[in-house]
Structure 1
Amino acid sequence: MSRRRDVPRATAGERPPGKGFGRRGFLTALPVAGAGTALLGGCVSRAGAVTDVDRILSVSLGQAEDHPSYGALLDFGERLAGATDNRWGVRVYANNSLGDQQETVQLVSDGAIDMAVISGTQIENSSPRFLPMNVPGVFDDMDHQNRVMLDDSIVGELFTSLEPDMRLTVLGGFTQGSRHLYTAPGPIESPDDLSGLKIRVQESKIFLDLINAMGGVPTPMAYSEVYTGLQAGVLDGAENNEISYVTQRHYEVATHYTLTNHLIGFDFFLANTDLLEEMGPEDSRALRETFTETQNAFVEIWRQETEKATEQMRERGVEIHEPDPAAFAPIIEETGYAILQDEADIAMYEAIRAASEEAP
C-alpha cells in the first residue's frame, strides 16, 4: 500500500518537518526560483527546470546550475514528458536547496520529495552494500562503470535492496569521472613526492585509507573550505576531477595537477518506490527508460566537459603531470580490495572486475 499522501500547505518560511511531511507541503514551504512557477503542472521555461505537463516531480541536486548534471536532469525531464504524452515532468532543485544529501535521502524515503542525486560515499550511509561500487580501482574508466551500472545481473538486486525498509529505488546515476590529485608545492610523480603533504579528502574511510597508502596525510575538510585551505597553506593539495577543479577555481591556489586516476566516482539517482508504483507500469517503465537514455548520454557529455576543463587548465598555466602508472596503480588496487571484508562485497567487486575483462 502506498505511503505517499498530501497534507495542507505549509506557511512560507517554515522549516520543513521530517518524517511524514507530505511532498506538496514540503515543496510549497520553499522559495521557488523564477516568478510564476507552478509546482503541480503548468508551463514553465527550461530555466525553471519544468515542462508543460500534468504533474511535476521534484529532483534534489547538490550541484549548481552550471554543472553538467543539472543540464542532464533538464533533458531527462523533457525526455520523460515526451515519453508519457506530457503526463510527467521534473523540476530540479539545485545547490542542495532541499537540504544536504543525507537529509534528502530521508525526504525521498518519506515521499516528501520524489527523487534525488546522491554521491556514492553518501549512499553508503544508507547501506554499506554499496561499498564495492565506490572503492579505488574497481572501475577502469567511465565506460566500464556505465556498463556495470546498467547490468541487472550485477546491480539489479543491489538497486532494489533499499525498497523494503526505506522505500528507495536506485534508477542508475551519473559518473563523476576520474579523480586525480592536485597540489601546490610541486608535481607528484611517486608516493615519495606525497610524503608529509596534507591532502584534503572527504570524511570517508575509503579516502582516508587511500591517501595514507599513496604516501600523503589525509585531511578531512568541508569542500567549501578547500580554496582557502590551499591559499593559507593549511592544505598542500586535494583530489577531484578536472571539472570540479576548474569550476571551483582551485587552479589559482594549486597549480600542479597529477593524473593518478585513483577513483571513478558515481552519483546515484534515487526515486521514491511508492511514486514508481503510483505511476503505473507504463509510465514507470518510461521513467526508467528515459533516465537510462540520459545516463548513457551523460557519459559523453562528461567526456566533452572534461576535455574543455583540461584545455582551460592549460590556458591558466596549470602543469598537468602523468606519472608512470606503475607508481600508483598497484597501491590503488590493493587499497580498494583491502577495504572489502564481507564475502558478498568481494563477490560483487570480482563481478565488476570480470565485466572489465569481458569488454571488447
Structure 2
Amino acid sequence: MTFQTNIMKRIKILSLFTVVVTFLSCEIQTEAKTLRLGHGLDVSHSVHKAMVKMGEDLLARSGGKLKLEIYPSQQLGTERECLELLQIGSLDMTKVSVGVLENFAPKMKVLGLPFLFRDRQHSFDVLDGPIGEKLLNEGEKYWLKGLGYYDAGSRSFYTMNKPIEKPEDLVGEKIRVMESATAVNMVKALGGSPTPISWGELYTSLQQGVVDGAENNPPSFYLSRHYEVCKYYSLDEHTVLPDVLLIGTYVYDKLTEQEQKWLNESVKKSVKYQRILWAEAEAEALREVQKAGVQIIRPDKTLFAEKVEGIFEGYKEDKEMYSLIIQIQETN
C-alpha cells in the first residue's frame, strides 16, 4: 500500500508540475507580441535590410517579448492601402514615402517641396531635429504615429524617349508621380503632364506607353528595373523626399512604456544603419544602370529651381506652413 501511495503521490506531483509548466508557458507566449510590418519595397532594398536589422535588434533588446514580422513587395497592399490598414488597426506598422503620407498628415507635404534643402546634410539636420520630430507627430490625430525617417536620397527624372536637360524638355511628357498634390504641382510647374500611378503598376505602364517617364531615386530606379525601359536619367535632384516608418496609434498605445522604449531605440539604430546602406546602394545603382546603357545627365539645377519658385509663393497665404518652410530653410 505504501508503494502504491508513493506512486500516486508522484503522479499527482508530476501532473501538478505539468499544469504549472503549461501555465507558465502560456503566460510567456501571451507576453510575446508580434508587430506586423508591411511595405512595398523589394527585399534587396536598403530600407528592407534595415527593417530586418531592426527586427533582430528588437528581439534581442526585448528578450524575445517583441517580435517583428515583415511583409515586403506590396504583399499587404500599396503604400496608401497599408496606411489605411494602420488606421483601422488591421496592420501594425508600415513604411511610406512622405509624398503619400501628405494625404493623411497634411503638414508633411512641406518635405515634398522641390529644392527645399540645400544638400543631404541639411535634410538630415532638419529631420533629426525638432522640426522632424514635430512632423512625425503630425499624423497622430489620423491614427498614424511616425517613428523615424529612412533616407530615400534625391528624386530625379528618368524617361524613355529623350533626355531631360532643361525644364522645357518636360513639355508634353507624361510623367508618373505618386498620389501627391505637391508632386503633381511640381511636374506641372516644370511643364510636364503629371500622371499618378501606383509603384507596382509603373513598369507595365512604361512598357505600354501609358507614361513617358517617372521620377525617383537611383536605387529605386535600379531595383525596379525601370532602366530596362527608360534609358535617360537626369539628375536634377528636385526633391529630397524621405521614407517614414509608422505605427498605428491603436497598436502603439497598447504597448507598455518599456515596449515603446525598446521599439523606439531599435528604430533609431535601424535608421543609422539604413543611411550607411543607402549611400552604398546609391553609388552601386548609378554604376549598374550606366553599365546597362542608361545615359546619365547632370543638368543645371538652377534652371529647374527657378521654374518652381511659384510653388513656394503659393504658401504665403498659409502663415503656419510658410513659417515652417522658412524654419527649414534657416536650419543650420
TM-score (normalised: structure 1): 0.77
* Correspondence for 1:155 among 132, 145, 153: 132
How many matched pairs? 305
Shift of 1:312: 0.3
Tell me what 2:150 maps to. 174
Q: What is the DSSP-based 3-state SS (H/G/I as helix, E as strand, rest coil) of the residue aligned with 1:162?
A: helix
Residue correspondence of structure 1 range 245-256 to structure 2 within 5 A: 245-256=221-232
Q: 1:323 aligns with which of 275, 278, 299?
A: 299
CA contact (8 A) 2:233 2:294 kept: yes
Q: Which residue of structure 2 aligns with residue 58 of structure 1?
A: 36
Match of 1:89 in 2: 67
Q: Does 1:242 align with 2:218?
A: yes
SS in 1 for 2:151: strand
**Residue type at the aligned position of 2:296:** I
Q: Which runs of structure 2 are paired with 1:102-141 in the superposition (5 Å)?
A: 102-141=80-119
Corresponding residue number in structure 2 for 1:18: none
Q: Which of 137, 141, 160 pairs up with 1:184?
A: 160
Q: Say if 2:256 is the partner of 1:280.
A: yes
Change over 3 Å in CA distance of 1:96–1:185 after alignment to 2: closer
For 1:129 and 1:88, the matched residues in 2 are separated by: 31
CA shift in 2, pair 1:337/1:148, >3 Å: farther
Rg larger for: 2
Relative to 1, partners in 2 of residues 1:328 and 1:108: Cα closer, same or farther, differing over 3 Å? same
Instruction: Please tell me whether the aligned partners of residues 197 and 217 of structure 1 are also in contact (alpha carbons under 8 angstroms).
Output: yes
2:78 counterpart (100, 108, 116): 100
Work out the CA distance in 1 between the residues paired with 2:97 and 2:266: 21
- RMSD, aligned CA: 2.5
CA drift at 1:74: 0.7
In structure 1, what is the Cα distance between the partners aligned to 2:154 and 2:263?
28
Q: Specify whether residues 186 and 88 from structure 1 end up closer, same or farther in structure 2 by C-alpha distance, changes over 3 A only.
A: same
3-state SS of paired residue (1:172): strand
Q: Which residue does 2:49 correspond to in 1?
A: 71
2:330 paired with 1:351:
no
- Give % identity: 30
Give the corresponding residue for 2:5: none
For residue 122 of structure 1, report the CA deviation from its aligned partner.
2.2
**In the aligned structure 2, how far is the partner of 1:99 from the partner of 1:227?**
17
Residue 289 in 1 paired to residue 265 in 2? yes
Task: Using the TM superposition, name which of 313-322 and 282-291 deviates more.
Answer: 282-291
Find the partner of 2:233 among 252, 257, 262: 257
Partner of 1:22: none
1:39-50 matches, within 5 Å, as: none
Taking structure 2 as the reference length, what is the TM-score of the superposition?
0.82
Query: Match of 2:164, as an amino acid?
Result: I
Does the aligned pair in 2 maintain the 1:143–1:299 contact within 8 Å? no
CA contact (8 A) 1:132 1:340 kept: no
> Residues 317 and 327 (structure 1 numbering): CA distance in 2 closer, same or farther, change over 3 Å?
same
Structure 1, unpaired ranges of 5+: 1-39, 43-52
Q: Aligned in 2, Cα 1:345/1:292: closer, same or farther, shift over 3 Å? A: same
Give the helix-richer structure, 1 or 2. 2
Q: Call closer, same or farther: CA 1:307–1:41 in 2, change over 3 Å.
A: farther
Stretch of structure 1 that moved more, 345-354 or 142-151: 142-151
Secondary structure of the residue that 1:293 maps to in structure 2?
helix
Q: What letter matches 2:183 in structure 1?
A: F
The higher relative CO (CA closer than 8 Å, separation ≥ 6) is in 2
Taking the aligned partners of 2:286 and 2:137, their CA distance within structure 1 comes to 37
Instruction: Give the Cα–Cα distance (whole angstroms) in 2 for the partners of residues 343 and 300 of structure 1.
Output: 37
Alpha carbons of structure 1 residues 254 and 340: separation in structure 2 relative to 1, 3 Å: farther
Once residues 127 and 319 of structure 1 are traced to their aligned partners in structure 2, the CA distance between those partners, rounded to angstroms, is 37
SS at the partner of 2:274?
helix
Corresponding residue number in structure 1 for 2:121? 143
Distance 1:115 1:320, change over 3 A: same
Give distance in 2, aligned partners of 1:41 and 1:339: 53
Greater shift in the superposed pair: 139-148 or 315-324: 139-148
Letter in 2 for 1:185: N
